[in-house]
């Protein structure tokens, strides 16, 4: 009788161990940032001081909408009918894929959740053809809700993009080739 009780106890312990081991795999944590996003808005976070040929020094104020310029810079490898269809997918395996509403997707690099409010997007040269070595975009101060996320970043923008922001004015020829621009960026969850 003691042997039977011992065998039953051993089977119960083995079953409990097996079941609890399976439960650990089911509880695997998935980042809250995993999903498909579109770039829905971008606006300057700080004033930019530049010199124009026509009026001299001017300031482009914080809050200026630069959405089309940022969409062009970050989504130039996609040929979608609209930027609203240009998806940036952050996958569970920490890869980034880009597509037109899920069609013709391609590997655009990797991403990392640095902490609860910081993401690093390591975009490869396939995603950013104008940068042969790719491009790292660090988004900080992220606020996330059910519609998407908003964060702050800074990137060096070529003066051609700055020119588009101030058109019809033109930049002074002495303007550096690249200007560091700090802006807020909104990613809308799809």
Q: Phi and psi (nearest 5°) for 188?
A: -90, 130
Q: What share of the chain has pLDDT > 70, as a percent?
A: 85
Token pair in block for residue 103: 């069609």
Cβ atoms 116, 149 nearer than 8 A: no
Token pair in block for residue 8: 């039953």
Q: Which domains does the chain have, with CATH numbers?
A: 35-189 (2.40.128)
How large is the average pLDDT for residues 161-171? Answer: 86
Helix/strand/coil (H, E, C) string of 119-158? EEEEECCCCCCCCCCCEEEEEEEEEEECCEEEEEEEEEEE
CA distances from 70 to 7, 17, 26, 75, 102 (A): 67, 52, 39, 8, 21
Task: Determine if the peptide bond prior to 168 is cis (ω within 30°).
Answer: yes
- Return the pLDDT at 7: 54
How large is the average pLDDT for residues 50-65? Answer: 93
- Return the pLDDT at 31: 92
Give residues with Cβ within 8 angstroms of 26, minimum separation 6. none
Whether 116 shows a pLDDT value over 90: the answer reads yes
């Amino acid at each position: 009788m003691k042997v039977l009780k011992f065998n039953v106890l051993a089977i119960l312990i083995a079953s409990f161990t097996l079941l609890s081991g399976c439960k650990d795999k089911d509880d695997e944590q998935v980042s809250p940032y995993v999903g498909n996003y579109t770039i829905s808005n971008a606006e300057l976070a700080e004033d930019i001081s530049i010199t124009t040929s026509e009026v001299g020094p001017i300031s482009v104020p914080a809050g200026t909408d630069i959405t089309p310029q940022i969409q062009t810079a970050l989504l130039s490898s996609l040929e979608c009918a609209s930027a609203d269809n240009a998806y940036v997918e952050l996958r569970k395996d920490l890869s980034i894929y880009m597509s037109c509403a899920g069609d013709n997707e391609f590997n655009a690099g990797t991403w990392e959740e640095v902490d609860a409010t910081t993401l690093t997007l390591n975009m490869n040269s396939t995603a950013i053809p104008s940068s042969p070595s790719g491009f790292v975009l660090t988004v900080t101060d992220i606020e996330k809700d059910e519609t998407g996320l908003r964060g702050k970043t800074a990137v060096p923008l070529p003066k051609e993009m700055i020119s588009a922001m101030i058109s019809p004015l033109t930049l002074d020829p002495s303007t550096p080739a690249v200007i560091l621009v700090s802006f807020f960026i909104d990613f809308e969850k799809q």
